[in-house]
């Protein structure tokens, strides 16, 4: 009998999982992959478009291009999830699963930060980042504040990367000497699991004159005074504010009853939820790794291997190791690679390679290989 697998969310985890299951099982498994978006966009591509290094059209990868044995992509909004019966309601109809995988990521609550939508900009949604390309093209310099509004948030290195790329952007336009860049972060270090990477970033900030304000978050943007209000009651004047909005579990997941303290709890080794034959991967979980695509991908690999073993009648032994590699742009065509491991009950550890110009090729290969695997076409991140 054909096993019905329904995967909710076509990000890193959903795409890698469905690719592996298709390769191993083909038409012996019926996989339905559901996402409300029509295109996939890498997180780093949002910054490429924002800073004018790539066009929006170039970095969008249409889900309609997915052609894999046993996999059906459905473009729809998920309206209800019943994890007990593994029944899913969507705007394109209902689906029943033998195995259900929830990989819906986190949603952004821009309204949770007063003033953000009025006098600020967020760069974490695709639309927000893409809209900033024109905003930055028309920016004539001044006080730039990059701020995080809450924890947890996706890709913890991204705000630091944005500050470094902003420095490069302003220098290229002859505006840096008339400008000031400030980064507001909730952590004591830019990348807490890797002191080595954090030290390299802090040294880069010092060399470039980027202000670093740790252990605080942005509470609000005051429309009347044009000031950023911080959690320690400090206020900062700004001409351009780039914010990381509040992250929340998608409302349809919250309404399903699967969450505890705002996120889906899972077994950190198997990604199993409290419901039989229901897994959750990536940002939607409280697994203990950062909310980033590479960790979701790694979790998707484990779930895929467990599904494949189950379908093929083998013992299910795959476990998640908590490792992830991310690339951090320092500007001036230099990239660093951060390799971190999060194991349950252990202190996270992370190593740094670079920054060097040569690692830019590694980052390009990282993106190109995944688009080839997931969408079956040639692509380079920038043109």
Give the whole-number percent of the chain exceeding pLDDT 90. 79
Between helix 293-311 and helix 12-25 the angle, nearest 10°, is 30
- Sketch the domain layout of the chain as residue ranges: 3-106+249-311, 108-246
CB within 8 A of 83, min separation 6: which ones?
100, 102, 256, 257, 258, 273, 275, 278
Number of neighbours of residue 30 by Cβ within 10 angstroms? 16
Evaluate if residue 8 carries a pLDDT over 70.
Answer: yes
pTM for the model: 0.94
pLDDT confidence of residue 28: 86
Contact of 176 with 186, CB cutoff 8 Å: no
Contact of 303 with 282, CB cutoff 8 Å: no
Position 304 confidence tier, pLDDT thresholds 50, 70, 90 = very high
From the DSSP assignment, how many helices (H) and strands (E) are in the chain?
10, 23
Contact of 219 with 208, CB cutoff 8 Å: no
pLDDT confidence of residue 345: 67
Looking from the CA of 264 toward its CB, the CA atoms found within 13 Å total 33
Contact of 221 with 120, CB cutoff 8 Å: yes
Sheet holding 235-237, edge to edge: 218-222, 227-230, 235-237
Question: What is 3-106+249-311's CATH topology?
Answer: FAD/NAD(P)-binding domain (3.50.50)
Q: Give the model confidence (pLDDT) of 222-270 as tens digits.
A: 999 999 999 999 999 999 999 999 999 999 999 999 999 999 999 999 9
DSSP single-letter state for residue 2: P
Confirm or reject CATH 3.50.50.60 for domain 108-246, answering yes or no.
yes
Position 192 confidence tier, pLDDT thresholds 50, 70, 90 = confident
Evaluate if residue 51 carries a pLDDT over 70.
Answer: yes
Element (H, E) at 237: strand 235-237
Buried b (16+ CB within 10 A) or exposed e, 249-282: bbebbeebebbeeebbebebebbbbebebbbbbb
pLDDT confidence of residue 289: 77
For residues 360 and 382, give the distance between their C-alpha atoms in angstroms, rounded to a whole number.
Answer: 11
For residues 124 and 107, give the distance between their C-alpha atoms in angstroms, rounded to a whole number.
Answer: 10
Q: Do domains 3-106+249-311 and 108-246 have the same CATH topology?
A: yes
pLDDT confidence of residue 149: 97
Q: What is the DSSP string of 138-170?
A: T----EEEEEE-SSS-B-TTHHHHHHHHHHHHH
Evaluate if residue 83 carries a pLDDT over 70.
Answer: yes
Contact of 78 with 34, CB cutoff 8 Å: yes
Residue of higher predicted confidence among 344 and 306: 306
pLDDT confidence of residue 273: 97
Q: Give the model confidence (pLDDT) of 340-381 as tens digits.
A: 777 766 677 777 888 999 999 999 999 999 999 999 999 998
Evaluate if residue 193 carries a pLDDT over 90.
Answer: no
Query: Mean pLDDT for the chain?
Result: 93
Looking from the CA of 79 toward its CB, the CA atoms found within 13 Å total 8
Beta 334-341 vs 323-331: how paired, if at all?
Answer: antiparallel
pLDDT confidence of residue 383: 58
Burial of 174 (0-12, 13-18, 19+ CB in 10 A): exposed
First vs last Cα of the chain: how many Å apart?
47
């Amino acid at each position: 009998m054909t096993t019905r697998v329904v995967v909710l969310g076509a990000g890193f985890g959903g795409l890698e999982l469905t690719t592996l299951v298709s390769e191993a099982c083909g038409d012996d498994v019926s996989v339905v992959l559901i996402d409300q978006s029509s295109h996939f966009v890498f997180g780093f591509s949002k910054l490429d478009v924002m800073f004018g290094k790539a066009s929006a059209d170039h970095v969008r990868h249409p889900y309609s291009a997915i052609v894999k044995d046993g996999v059906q992509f459905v473009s729809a909004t998920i309206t209800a999830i019943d994890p007990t019966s593994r029944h899913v309601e969507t705007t394109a109809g209902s689906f029943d699963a033998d195995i259900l995988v929830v990989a819906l990521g986190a949603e952004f609550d821009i309204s949770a930060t007063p003033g953000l939508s009025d006098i600020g900009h967020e760069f974490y949604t695709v639309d927000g980042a893409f809209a900033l390309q024109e905003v930055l093209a028309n920016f004539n310099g001044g006080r730039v504040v990059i701020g995080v509004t809450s924890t947890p948030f996706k890709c913890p290195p991204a705000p630091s990367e944005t500050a470094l790329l902003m420095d490069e952007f302003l220098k290229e336009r002859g505006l840096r000497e008339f400008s000031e860049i400030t980064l507001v972060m909730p952590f004591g270090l830019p990348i807490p699991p890797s002191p080595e990477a954090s030290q390299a970033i802090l040294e880069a900030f010092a060399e470039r004159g980027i202000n670093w304000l740790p252990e605080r978050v942005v509470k609000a943007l005051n429309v009347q005074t044009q000031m950023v209000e911080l959690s320690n009651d400090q206020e900062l004047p700004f001409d351009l504010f780039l914010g990381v909005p509040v992250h929340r579990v998608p409302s349809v997941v919250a309404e399903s009853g699967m969450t505890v303290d705002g996120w889906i709890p899972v077994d950190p080794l198997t990604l199993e939820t409290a419901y039989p034959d229901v897994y959750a991967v990536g940002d939607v979980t409280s697994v203990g790794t950062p909310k980033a695509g590479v960790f979701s991908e790694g979790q998707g690999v484990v779930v895929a291997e467990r599904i494949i073993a189950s379908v093929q009648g083998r013992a299910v032994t795959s476990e998640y190791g908590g490792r992830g590699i991310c690339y951090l742009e320092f500007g001036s065509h230099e990239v660093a690679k951060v390799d971190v491991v999060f194991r349950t009950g252990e202190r996270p550890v992370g190593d740094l390679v670079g920054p060097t110009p040569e690692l830019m090729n590694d980052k390009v290969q990282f993106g190109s290989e995944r688009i080839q695997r997931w969408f079956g076409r040639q692509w380079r991140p920038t043109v």
